Chain A
Amino acid sequence: MSNPQDENAPVDANIEQDFGDTRVIHLGGTLRAKAAVRSADAGGVDEMSVAAADAAMKDLSADFQNWMGDEVNRLIAAYEVFRDSPSDNRDVTKLFRAAHDIRGQAAVFGYPIAAEIAGSLSKLLDKIEPDYLPIQLISHHVDAVKAIYRNNIRDYANPVATQIIHNLRRAIDRVVEARQKAMMEEMRIRRSG
């Protein structure tokens, strides 16, 4: 193999080693040869590129409030469809996806508390079967995300917001724990019967 530290080195073919049932393939460095360049930056982080990307994100951030509004509206719409469906035929997929997207994006949009509440909701929807989901608790989460967005609450300095997070999280832990206990009991009865 040529020296992988040399950016002008020719691209090597992959090298394979055979250990019977297992083959180890050392990649030939195609991408490295294509895109690696010498840099003075310590730790291999291209500070200029990162700063340029941060600046580009800052320009984009003018749209974030509207984007967050769209995501909150999607959550509300998905919740309403879920709530109005017959209780034995509820599809949680769209509601979960809406909550999961807010969990992942709201912090980037500048709403970390909403991200946290949506994360709790995602956990609830992920852990409990649709037939056993408590509508009231889901409703509290959706209302909280909506209120945080409409009141433009963006940081943890707001004591009401942090108390809401705490209470919702505790309520979810109780629901999940109760459901797990019930499932254990159902299993025990099935086994003994």
Chain B
Amino acid sequence: MFRVDCSRLRFLIIDDNAYMRRIIRTLLHGFGTREVFEAEDGAAGLEAFATHLPDVVITDWSMPVFDGIELTKMIRQPDTSPNPFVPIIMITGYAERNRVFEARDAGVSEMLVKPISAKGLYQRIAKVVLNPRPFIRTENYFGPDRRHLVKADQYKSRGMAANYMNSGNA
């Protein structure tokens, strides 16, 4: 088995609530992370993303002016983003099904519904580092495969493309 050595990773936390940023930072330091950067809204987050080039982005959904969904869409611009493949973990109070789909369609890698826990956060980090989903590029979408648990060999034959196109990714 493998685990993630978080001391080797650089994180960016984007949340307008200072207490929430402090909680996430505390958990990350507990995991051994040394490099944690913060931003308090989506616009500042985008700038910090380009400046610090984090390995993992942790963002809130609901933020003033420029929210986590818009931020994710900007980061997932394959032709302009400094790293469109970066894992994005969205921490949110929204648990409704339509919200989950909206986050998925924006290109979020993993969601973590509040209240946040150390184990829940660690599991999401482990998932994006150890078992990242393939990325999909279509005319309308760029981001992690929106179907979970995709095996690499499912894509081997051209015949799989038709199934893929019907899966919601196209």
The B132-170 residues at the A interface (CB cut-off 8 A) are 132, 134-139, 145, 152, 155, 158, 160-161, 164-165, 169-170
Do A103 and B93 have beta carbons less than 8 Å apart?
yes
Q: A34-B8, A97-B64, A107-B115 are in contact. Are A53 and B138 (CB under 8 A)?
A: no
Do B134 and A108 have beta carbons less than 8 Å apart?
no
Residues of B near A23 (CB, < 8 A) are 136-138
Interchain nearest-CB distance for A13 vs B (Å): 12
Interchain nearest-CB distance for B133 vs A (Å): 8
Do B165 and A35 have beta carbons less than 8 Å apart?
no
Interface of chain B, main secondary structure: mixed
Do B135 and A54 have beta carbons less than 8 Å apart?
no
Q: A26-B134, A32-B129, A100-B93 are in contact. Are A105 and B19 (CB under 8 A)?
A: yes
Residues of B near A107 (CB, < 8 A) are 114-115
Number of interface residues of B (CB under 8 A): 58
Residues of B near A14 (CB, < 8 A) are 85, 135
Interchain nearest-CB distance for A121 vs B (Å): 12
Residues of B near A101 (CB, < 8 A) are 17, 20, 93
Residues of A near B31 (CB, < 8 A) are 46, 49-50, 52-53
Centre residue among A31, A57, A119 by max chain B CB count within 10 A: A31
The reply to whether the CB of A22 lies closer than 8 angstroms to some CB of chain B is: yes
Determine the residue in chain A with the shortest Cβ distance to B132. A27
Do B136 and A104 have beta carbons less than 8 Å apart?
no
Q: A interface vs B, CB < 8 Å?
A: 5, 7, 14, 17, 19-27, 31-32, 34-46, 49-50, 52-57, 60, 67, 70-71, 93, 97, 100-101, 103-105, 107-108, 115, 119, 122
Top 10 A-B pairs, shortest CB-CB distance: A53-B30, A104-B114, A39-B3, A19-B161, A104-B93, A53-B118, A107-B115, A56-B30, A46-B3, A25-B135
Please list 18 pairs of residues, one from A and one from B, whose beta carbons are closer than 8 Å in the complex, sorted by A's number.
Answer: A19-B164, A21-B165, A22-B164, A23-B138, A31-B132, A35-B6, A36-B4, A36-B5, A38-B2, A43-B1, A44-B2, A45-B3, A45-B122, A46-B31, A57-B23, A107-B114, A107-B115, A115-B115
